[in-house]
A = this chain, B = another copy of it.
């Protein structure tokens, strides 16, 4: 089952205590697409500038991401400059150059309007809604957001969340959006607005899923080498929705496996800069880490 993603395609300059990536391919839609492509066909809607080269497109093409919705606009591609300290959970933004992204009006190609699964990556909630307006009867819609939109457009965001099935946010965002410090209560509030599932991303601490059939918690995978956390949340979303789309996006019980698959993809994403790790990732490696997640978390009933 195909997935349509709308979001950013960017050139990132990232410094972590373990190295630097300069003008490397990044952006929420990029990381999502490559991760999801391991599971389902992906259609990308985004904008880049005239400085976006074939070399930049190559990793996306190598993963069979359909670039039929990637517009080239006059101007420069979105650039982000960021830095992480030893606490890799928190990114410090040093510079943002929106470039062509400032005037981005996402247009879904006609042939894609019946795409069954939609991921609205972190962009202006009004634009996320406009994309949704262009899709006919999707089976499953998921959305991400960030603190910037929660403070600047809370009402637009709440209107959007009433139209999606799955909300993905980090824990600080969930608390900020609801004004409720307790995550269990905050998730109840968000589900009350319409989304049937709330996925709380907690970085190295894993993920919490609140859905109709109760809560599911998965710890983060204890990695020895984390080089760059950029894109981890989007790689998670890519694995999560990619897996659900591959399973027909109809079985709510698949959500637990989907959350593990998402965590597996995110755990690989952070092991290198940009797309380096996912570029050379294989399905046997994915399966092996999925099994290691089971070995990491399983325990017996009390005697």
By a beta-carbon cutoff of 8 Å, the part of chain A in contact with chain B is: 17, 86-87, 181-185, 202, 205-206, 208, 214-220, 222-226, 256-257, 259-261, 287, 290-291, 294-302
Contact = CB atoms under 8 A, between A and B. Distances in A.
Contacts of A208: 219, 222
Contacts of A205: 202, 205-206, 219
Contacts of A183: 222
Contacts of A216: 296-297, 299
A206 B219 contact: yes
Contact of A217 (B86, B256, B297): B297
Given A218-B219, A219-B206, A219-B219, A224 B299 contact: no
Given A218-B299, A260-B299, A287-B302, 12 more contacts: A184-B222, A184-B224, A205-B219, A206-B219, A208-B219, A214-B296, A215-B222, A215-B296, A217-B222, A217-B297, A257-B302, A297-B297
A224 B185 contact: yes
Q: Which 5 A-B pairs have the closest CB atoms?
A: A217-B219, A256-B299, A205-B205, A86-B181, A184-B224
Q: State how many copies of this chain the complex holds.
A: 2
Contact of A224 (B182, B260, B297): B182
A180 to B, nearest CB: 10
Nearest to A205: B205
Nearest to A206: B219
B300 A184 contact: no
A252 to B, nearest CB: 13
Nearest to A226: B182
Report which residue of A214, A295, A297, A300 has the largest number of chain B beta carbons within 10 angstroms of its beta carbon: A297
Contacts of A260: 299
Given A181-B86, A202-B205, A224-B182, A299 B257 contact: yes
13 contacts: A86-B181, A182-B225, A183-B222, A184-B222, A184-B224, A208-B219, A208-B222, A214-B296, A217-B297, A256-B299, A261-B302, A291-B301, A298-B298
Contacts of A217: 206, 219-220, 222, 296-297
B256 A218 contact: no
